[in-house]
Amino acid sequence: MHGGNQTGVSDFLLLGISENPEQERVLFWMFLSMYLVTVVGNVSIILAIGSDSRLHTPMYFFLANLSFTDLFFVTNTIPKMLVNLQSQNKAISYVGCLTQLYFLVSLVTLDNLILATMAYDRYVAICRPLHYVTVMSPGLCTLLLTSCWALAVLYGLMLTLLMTKVTFCGSRKIHYIFCEMYVLLRLACSNTQITHIVLITTGIFIFLTPFGFMMVSYVRIVRAILRIPSASSKYKAFSTCGSHLAVVSLFYGTLCMVYLQPIQTYSMKDSVATVMYAVVTPMMNPFIYSLRNKDMHGALGRLFRGKGFQRLT
């Protein structure tokens, strides 16, 4: 080991979910298939929205950005995981580990903020329909999205810089599929109490505040929908929000399984929950959003028939 930085280690070892060669082969093909499905699904959503002028609305503008975030998110973690599953050398450098951590934190935060922005869009569309065009103007949409990106980038940078102050010694083995904050803190030999406090307090602000906003928005949305006299109009309103609620539930449900616990209790079983939010959720989002959406069905159909590509070019 060559101590080229303050941590006293040059590499970490990403051991993943299993060290059994037979299981690793199965995991490789499983994760490769999931990665390809995720890439195709999210790229299709982005191209369909970009190629169809009927989908150039705030809701689909935010959805395209959510798909881009999910695409970037899985590309940050899965390719390295696939290489490790096929290789005897499972090392990742200290800089590489922190880089992966930075993008992980930033992109999860961005996903969270975009979902909150989409909830606001649905709130305005259903509770203030007559003002929707003026409220959700292109300028406001751009401002909201820029703010989401800026906050996510700064939050990721802050936590990554905080991790550079942590000293590592002893075991370098990470029984996990990527470099993750809680796992790295468990390997630290310095006092991580301040880091843990910052992680919890900022996490509450960054994640629970948008979640609370979404819950309040949807309470008001449900009340507004229940006042609609027409059954068909009620169904249409619920269907536009149902897909977003499904994604929110999947995203926060899996995050809570992993992070609503003390660092000391963080164990191997949490790798399975991590796979849910890091791999399964980005893979499922395109299917959830297009499942009962006629506009998206039409756009995807035109895209795959070649008409969408002609418009893009």
Summarize pLDDT for 200-251 with one digit per residue, the tens.
888 888 888 998 999 999 899 888 888 877 777 777 777 777 777 888 888 8
Largest separation between any pair of C-alpha atoms in the chain: 71
Please report, for the chain, the start and end positions of each structural domain, with discontinuous segments joined by +: 21-297
Residues 286-313 have pLDDT tens digits of 888 776 677 787 788 887 776 554 555 5
- Chain position carrying tokens 């800026």: 150
* Percentage of residues of the chain with pLDDT beyond 90: 30
Q: Which CATH architecture has domain 21-297?
A: Up-down Bundle (1.20)
CB atoms within 10 A of CB 122: 20
Burial class (CB in 10 A: 0-12, 13-18, 19+), 99: middle
CA distances from 131 to 55, 126, 177, 264 (A): 19, 10, 46, 50
Higher-pLDDT residue of 273 and 78 is: 78
Residue 172 has pLDDT above 70, yes or no: yes
Contact 119, 244 (CB under 8 A): yes
pLDDT category at 115 given cuts 50, 70, 90 is very high
Instruction: Report the pLDDT value the prediction gives residue 7, as an integer from 0 to 100.
Output: 40
Residue 55 has pLDDT above 80, yes or no: yes
Q: Tokens for 208?
A: 């629970």
**Mean pLDDT for the chain overall:** 82
